[in-house]
Chain A
């Protein structure tokens, strides 16, 4: 930690000491913290992960520390709305928050709602670009929004290779797609794709009789059920999990590039369970917590002590599209209404 702070300090010298001192000292998981957390006995965890991952993860933490985790899962954009409404109503229930739309943390940082906290493992083993310079949040894991298809409905030879292929009339009526007004994954991906391919791409896509679902966790379930042959987008880890369960699913990394989705996590300043919140974040970011996520879902860990899941492609082997949360934060509303213009909902 100290080494990195020094390195950062060196890098940031032109910006003055104020910025450097903003990064709080790393906090280890001391017995005192664990004790205080146990006394609080509970912690809420707002997130946008699929329930099949979020709930077992919460149960694992509960089993280890005896602290009840209240999982509040919805689409990241829904979670964002919910938190805004709750804060406006002075309801301070959100303790730990984890979003698939990294822009949310920029917005919350502007509001001054986040509590500075850097877990020991984060300082040691998470690369600096994943940590907020003020220590208010840090990437917990990364996943992708990939294309996938049901091999019983589309032969691999007929499968699309990329996003533009999806505009082929032969795929009309065969597509399912999630919504950027609900899902942070899709909001992130929509911004990247509209930048790379232009909004005209979405205009054309909307004419393909797309089944419009909400969550990025739903298209994987729809193609598994055989409701549509091809998922235009969706959380890649669920496609893989489905495939690994023996379902006829194949994942496509689009030739134009695959949208990358970082999932930052932070603690709300207004938390009523600060110690339990710190412990939960510390555990999730520890090699043990990260390994739990990787083993269960195969999402890409933030902690470099933990290796990615075997059988999944290395991030470095995929052409990834660049994330721009700083753009999304001011354009989200515009993206949503532009999208609704084409897809009508």
Chain B
């Protein structure tokens, strides 16, 4: 395909490139500049010396690595067998299980962490109370203590394992059954086939999943802020955030952000190498649906065990949130006598931040989904059709934010936009930029694979009949991509509602979003209002997703989330 008259392409390209520079290059540039500056702005390496020698920084760094490794391992150990059970066996309720895993992804991780506090705080946690009631253990003994490193790793893993699970299950779905059939025809038993064929084929995906889990745990902010600080330790993300306390030490914050950035970039390169090998699994032309392994008498016990695993990210936390929402004291099980709507009354009529925060959140989510979706669509079109010179750069920039942890992006945007000429700090726009940037890679990847499916000939036809490129995009390509558009919109919408780490750096009192409000309420211990707000945003998210899936998306959303893993 050759370039015809340059209708709107060139200016558009420049616009897109300029936008990406403002969103990504400028903040990251300032981040690097600040990390090599002292308070007065003179160049120095002092920040990094401090970072790697002062225990105040070294300890969080090490803790963060421990958390990331453990989370990654735990996620794989749990997600791999579950993915296999769902994709490759006749386990009952497999479809329901997949839907429920998706549902656990809608839960913002910091809400999950707060819910787990209600469940497993050593004394007031509902599970510990239950355990003491059943065993008669003394009042100062606890089965679980969520305020520990283990507790934190557990909580992060609860909301990270779905990513690994979806990757593994999808990959096993696509794996040709013939290879396994051949193996058993050659006389191998079920176990040998699994060991020699299925596991090696699934290995690259599992490794990719492990990396995604590692990155998620590395860069997460909400759960450590809620669980680590009461326990008396910092992770790197909470440390960065604490550096914004007055007097703000942005140079140190910038320097502390760089290891996260560098590590993420390195790991993403590794992931690319690993995923690159996945190709061989799907060689072999047409292949049949995989044969399901019969579990026989194990069907019911296995399904029960799987559902028990899901109770950890899903059933138990929501039970705790519901209990707190209707209860005067969160540590007591609600009874008909104590049932109260007081928390709802307080949240919706007294708490003056509720409505502005809900409004900000929904506006930002809808705007990010719409504008971010458009931007991603545009970039993926340019890249897929190699429409303009320099398309490679655009593709790179659109994927780059994958390597930028939310809190690091927050710091970068803060540094870039608290100064002229673009003083965006304090406006809703800086949050919009943050959210679009964070969600851009996932949206872009989704559209890219969608464009691969639409043959350029259809567009050529439109162009030959005299339509401009944009017109063709609108009339021909657009309708063909509808499912992807809706799925991407939903995905970004959900992502924005879950986002805390960049927002917590960038908000002002006027631009507070629900995630930040929940975090605020957490610090003052107002768990009743937290439960009500959390249930509200999860309900809104669910309604949006249901409506959107009515608009014909189906399983695309599932695949989409997988892409978003990083």
Contact = CB atoms under 8 A, between A and B. Distances in A.
A69 B510 CA distance: 13
Contacts of A227: 121-124, 331
A93 B510 contact: yes
Given A55-B352, A340-B56, A81 B248 contact: yes
Contacts of A226: 123-124, 331
B509 A93 contact: yes
A72 interface: yes
A74 B246 CA distance: 14
Interface in B261-296: none
Nearest to B521: A51
A81 B244 contact: yes
Interface stretch (A21-29, A83-91, A274-282): A83-91
Interface stretch (B39-47, B229-237, B366-374, B554-562): B229-237
Most chain A Cβ neighbours within 10 Å, of B123, B247, B248, B521: B123
A307 B332 CA distance: 36
Contacts of B353: 71-72
Contacts of A50: 524
Nearest to B427: A91
Nearest to A152: B139
Interface stretch (A210-218, A258-266, A297-305): A210-218
Contact of A211 (B56, B147, B510): B147
Contacts of B426: 86, 89-91
Contacts of A218: 523-525
Interface in B324-369: 329-331, 346, 350-353, 356
B525 A217 contact: yes
B330 A84 contact: no
A228 B425 CA distance: 40
B509 A44 contact: yes
A124 interface: no
B525 A85 contact: no
Contact of A222 (B229, B244, B423, B525): B525
B230 A212 contact: yes
B233 to A, nearest CB: 6
A249 to B, nearest CB: 12
B232 A212 contact: yes
A147 B525 CA distance: 18
A58 B352 CA distance: 9
B508 A86 contact: yes
A151 to B, nearest CB: 13
A174 B331 CA distance: 17
A256 B426 CA distance: 45
A217 B245 contact: no
Given A86-B508, A181-B242, A226-B124, A70 B525 contact: no
Given A91-B508, A336-B245, A70 B524 contact: no
Contacts of B457: none
Contacts of B350: 51, 55-56, 59
Contact of B229 (A44, A74, A212): A212
A225 B330 contact: yes
A82 B351 contact: no
Chain A interface size band reads 35 or more
B245 A181 contact: yes
B526 interface: yes
Interface in B112-133: 121-124
Given A56-B350, A69-B352, A91 B510 contact: yes
Contact of B140 (A46, A56, A59, A173): A173
Interface in A50-107: 50-52, 55-56, 58-59, 69-75, 77-78, 80-82, 84-86, 88-91, 93-94
Nearest to A344: B232
A85 B248 contact: yes
Interface string B200-241: 000000000000000000000000000011111110000000
Contacts of A9: none
A225 B351 contact: no
A213 B246 CA distance: 19
A33 to B, nearest CB: 23
Contacts of B509: 44, 46, 70, 72, 82, 86, 93-94
Nearest to A45: B352
Nearest to A104: B246
B246 A345 contact: no
A91 B346 CA distance: 29
A121 interface: no
Contact of A85 (B331, B356, B508, B527): B508
A292 interface: no
B520 interface: yes
Interface in A147-195: 153, 173-174, 181-182
Chain B interface size band reads 35 or more
A192 to B, nearest CB: 21
Nearest to B59: A344
Given A85-B508, A89-B426, A217-B524, A343 B232 contact: yes
A78 B509 CA distance: 11
Given A56-B350, A89-B425, A93-B509, A51 B524 contact: yes
A215 B524 CA distance: 5
A153 B234 contact: no
A75 B352 CA distance: 17
B523 A214 contact: yes
B418 interface: yes
A213 to B, nearest CB: 6
B524 A228 contact: no
B524 A80 contact: no
Contacts of B233: 344-345
A132 interface: no
A243 interface: no
Nearest to A220: B525
B47 to A, nearest CB: 17
Contacts of A214: 229, 523-524
A50 B523 CA distance: 11
Contacts of A91: 425-426, 508, 510
A221 B525 contact: yes
A51 B329 CA distance: 16
A82 B508 contact: yes
A236 interface: no
A333 interface: yes
Contacts of B330: 225
A224 interface: yes
Given A77-B246, A182-B523, A174 B56 contact: no
A51 B234 contact: no
Contacts of A69: 352
Given A90-B423, A221-B525, A84 B124 contact: no
A213 B226 CA distance: 9
Nearest to A68: B352
Given A77-B246, A85-B248, A89-B423, A51 B523 contact: no
Contact of B329 (A46, A93, A225): A225
A215 B246 CA distance: 16
A331 B509 CA distance: 27
Interface in B525-546: 525-527, 529
A70 to B, nearest CB: 6
Contact of B523 (A70, A82, A211, A215): A215
A80 B248 CA distance: 11
Q: Which 8 A-B pairs have the closest CB atoms?
A: A218-B525, A227-B124, A225-B331, A91-B426, A221-B525, A214-B523, A81-B246, A215-B524
Given A58-B352, A153-B123, 18 more contacts: A50-B524, A51-B351, A51-B526, A72-B353, A77-B245, A80-B246, A81-B248, A85-B425, A90-B426, A91-B425, A181-B242, A218-B525, A225-B330, A226-B123, A344-B234, A345-B229, A345-B232, A345-B234
5 contacts: A44-B509, A84-B246, A213-B525, A222-B525, A336-B245
Interface of A: 44, 46, 50-52, 55-56, 58-59, 69-75, 77-78, 80-82, 84-86, 88-91, 93-94, 153, 173-174, 181-182, 210-215, 217-218, 220-222, 224-228, 333, 336, 340, 343-345
